[in-house]
Structure 1
Amino acid sequence: MANSSEGGELNVTFNGTSPPCCRDNATNINLTFYEQSPDFYVVLPVIYSVICAVGLTGNTAVIYVILKAPKMKTVTNMFILNLAIADDLFTLVLPINIAEHLLHYWPFGEILCKVILSIDHYNIFSSIYFLTVMSIDRYLVVLATVRSKRMPHRTYRAARIISFGIWCLVTLIVSPFFAFANVYKDDLDITSCGLNFPRPERFWFKASRIYTLILGFAIPVSTICILYTMMLYNLRNMHLNSNTKALDKAKKKVTIMVFIVLAVCLFCWTPFHLATIVALTTDLPQTPAVIGISYFITSLSYANSCLNPFLYAFLDDSFQKSFRKMLECRPA
């Protein structure tokens, strides 16, 4: 079993996603931590439960509105739909992580261990990949508007095919975590769910963290930053050097919404990936403060799954109107 305490890496437990370190020795760390901070034993499940309830309700509402309202079937909303599905899937399994947290052991068997760890990692990769695709789409729309060109291939059907391709890509990326996920017993004979790496364990542990950092953050975020820089450059050029009309109000609103959703995602996930770098490059003692910060970083990454629906509701007029219309129709 990969032992993340080797070499002094940050081996703080993160229920489910194992950020920015693996879940090994989870129970021992949790028991020691809760002896020193007993209130945290209650506070963390409450935070996770709120995230679960709000995220499940909000994302289910987004899925329902986009699928039922004819006017909501747009290219951007197809990507938002898949983003909501990914968030909903994660919030559905969050109660299992809460149960493990309260019980201090894994009672659900090996198959569910593999499924839960895989879904946790789906959450890491799918959110940023769909946001990357949304950013590419926004860039192409802005570019076409600046050049006064149409986009005949930008259709709802094409968006569905691209979304399916993203799910296939994420499945491929997550498959190693499914293979390595396993149920094991520690020195105290307590059952845990974690990543069971082959020897040399320390090498595989570091490789898995670098793998997640590069594919789940560095590449997509770099792509997004380049796209938005080019987008701003084109908009500035359009304003200064062209008589082309400015983007219409609707396109501006969609672009702003995508940008804000992206900014919130980066705000929630950047500490997660920065903590990975810290875990790989420094030796941190397992003090209550370090463990508490680690749990806060995890909770922040989890919170992203329940924030997106509120962003759509506040920023997208068509979503608000469709949602209100469906609420009015339900009593009838």
Structure 2
Amino acid sequence: MNSTDSYYPTDDYPEPLEDPGALLCSLQEVRQFSRVFVPVAYSLICVFGLLGNTLVVLTFAFYKKAKSMTDVYLLNMAIADILFVLTLPFWAVTHATDTWMFSNAVCKLMKGIYAVNFNCGMLLLACISLDRYIAIVQATKSFQLRSRTLAHSKIICLAVWVVSLIISSSTFTFNQKYSVQGRDVCEPRYQSVSEPLTWKLLVLGLQLMFGFLVPLVFMVPCYLLIARTLVQAQNSKRHRAIRVIIAVVLVFLACQVPHNMVLLVTAAQMGRAGRTCHGQKVMGYANNVTEVLAFLHCCLNPVLYAFVGQKFRNYFLKIMKDMWCVRRPKAAGSSCARMYSETFASRQTSETADDNGSSFTM
């Protein structure tokens, strides 16, 4: 949502700089860096994000029935991440060619899908942390509470998608294809409103709030309380569970804090006089690097929230075996035939087992 183009002068409102030759400030160096770094990074994120999240969806579709709230959240988060990474090739092409090659309708659609699914993924992280808190810290009360909540799981997830759509509605409204300095861009344009600066700050504020602050407010307290509860518990797996929690929080902070700091600086400098050309170049580089780091989180979500658990790893191995056996004849007595005969029994066993699934102690 915030590419290097955000730092190029546009005709939406003036970009006052301190330098006497402000209008001659060239960001060509930033563009050259962007043409190489961003397409490669986005392509890798798209491939690995698509692979990991597709495996999560396939696991739920064919191997593991979503029986807990965390399972439902994980499935929806994987779908959101898949839709999100599918937009990255468009931005990779745009950075590589330094122009938006597609139509205005595609511009609005890609920006909208991009925003909705990113916000949805962030909100689902908050939901997962709250569900883990209820399941582990409030264990004595969680059975009845979670059983009632699970009955409304589809409503809760639908509400998350609707909220994400509402807070991303400005993306569909303001983003459009237009020409800047002889090149087509797909960026927000606020000429149709009376207070463009106010709208820019509002959109940026919503992105900061729902894309960072809301999940942060839920994740840090919930996981701290979960860690304290596990420390006090007499459980042989508690140390591993605590390490997973620490990894979840640290990865979130490492991926999201740098880019959101850049967004805060952008908001503070927006419309302000006294900026230097060197400062704008630094912000351009910082925005590219930190945005890629933020998007990397969608590749790590399947590892942190799904495949870190023993059950999901077992299902992953089953997927690999099934893909191998598809190419091999299932003769009587073969390993593939035995595996297929055991598949239904193993699934029934897993579904009748403790369904407090996807917890940190699996």
Q: Is the 8 A contact 1:72 1:318 kept in 2?
A: no
Asked if residue 294 in structure 1 is aligned to residue 294 in structure 2, the reply is no
> Which residue matches 2:208?
213
Larger mean Cα displacement after TM superposition, 106-115 or 147-156: 147-156
Q: Give the secondary structure class of the aligned counterpart of 2:108.
A: helix
Asked if residue 84 in structure 1 is aligned to residue 71 in structure 2, the reply is no
Q: Distance in 2 between matches of 1:265 and 1:213?
A: 14
Larger mean Cα displacement after TM superposition, 154-163 or 313-322: 154-163
> Which residue matches 1:160?
154
> How big is the shift at 1:131?
0.8
Larger mean Cα displacement after TM superposition, 207-216 or 267-276: 207-216
Q: Distance in 2 between matches of 1:44 and 1:166?
A: 30
Distance 1:40 1:306, change over 3 A: same
> How big is the shift at 1:296?
0.4
Distance 1:89 1:200, change over 3 A: same
Distance 1:264 1:107, change over 3 A: same
> How big is the shift at 1:120?
2.2
> Which residue matches 2:251?
264
Q: Deviations over 1:93-114 (max 9, x none)?
A: 1111111112222221121111
Q: Is the 8 A contact 1:20 1:275 kept in 2?
A: no
Asked if residue 223 in structure 1 is aligned to residue 214 in structure 2, the reply is no
> Which residue matches 1:204?
199
> Which residue matches 1:306?
299
> How big is the shift at 1:274?
1.3
Larger mean Cα displacement after TM superposition, 272-281 or 305-314: 305-314
Q: Is the 8 A contact 2:77 2:124 kept in 1?
A: yes
Q: Distance in 2 between matches of 1:69 and 1:201?
A: 50
> Which residue matches 1:18?
2
Q: Is the 8 A contact 1:21 1:279 kept in 2?
A: no
Q: Distance in 1 between matches of 2:318 and 2:68?
A: 18
Distance 1:159 1:235, change over 3 A: same
Larger mean Cα displacement after TM superposition, 50-59 or 256-265: 256-265
Q: Is the 8 A contact 1:118 1:174 kept in 2?
A: yes
Unaligned runs of 5+ in 1: 1-16, 240-244
How many residues get paired?
304
> Which residue matches 2:58?
64
Code of the residue aligned with 1:323 in structure 2: it is F
Q: Is the 8 A contact 1:59 1:88 kept in 2?
A: yes
> Which residue matches 1:285?
276
Q: Is the 8 A contact 1:67 1:73 kept in 2?
A: no
Distance 1:21 1:145, change over 3 A: farther
Code of the residue aligned with 2:100 in structure 1: it is W
* 1:88-107 equivalences in 2 (<5 Å): 88-107=82-101
Distance 1:38 1:227, change over 3 A: closer
Code of the residue aligned with 2:299 in structure 1: it is C
Q: Deviations over 1:39-65 (max 9, x none)?
A: 652233112111111111111111111
Q: Which one has a bigger Cα radius of gyration? A: 2
> Which residue matches 2:109?
115
Q: Is the 8 A contact 1:272 1:298 kept in 2?
A: yes
Aligned pair partner of 2:316 in 312, 323, 332:
323
Distance 1:313 1:140, change over 3 A: closer
Q: Distance in 2 between matches of 1:108 and 1:321?
A: 43
> Which residue matches 2:174?
180
Larger mean Cα displacement after TM superposition, 198-207 or 126-135: 198-207
Q: Give the secondary structure class of the aligned counterpart of 1:179.
A: helix
Code of the residue aligned with 1:272 in structure 2: it is H
> Which residue matches 1:74?
68
Q: Deviations over 1:231-270 (max 9, x none)?
A: 455556xx4xxxxx75685x98778656633442332111
Q: Name the Cα RMSD after superposition.
A: 3.2
> How big is the shift at 1:137?
0.5
Q: Distance in 1 between matches of 2:32 and 2:188?
A: 27
Q: Give the secondary structure class of the aligned counterpart of 1:77.
A: helix
Q: Deviations over 1:213-239 (max 9, x none)?
A: 223322332233333344455556xx4
Aligned pair partner of 2:46 in 43, 52, 62:
52
> Which residue matches 2:355?
none
Larger mean Cα displacement after TM superposition, 313-322 or 256-265: 256-265
Distance 1:227 1:314, change over 3 A: closer
Distance 1:124 1:266, change over 3 A: farther
Q: Is the 8 A contact 2:50 2:82 kept in 1?
A: yes
> How big is the shift at 1:301?
1.0
Distance 1:203 1:37, change over 3 A: closer
Q: Is the 8 A contact 1:20 1:272 kept in 2?
A: no
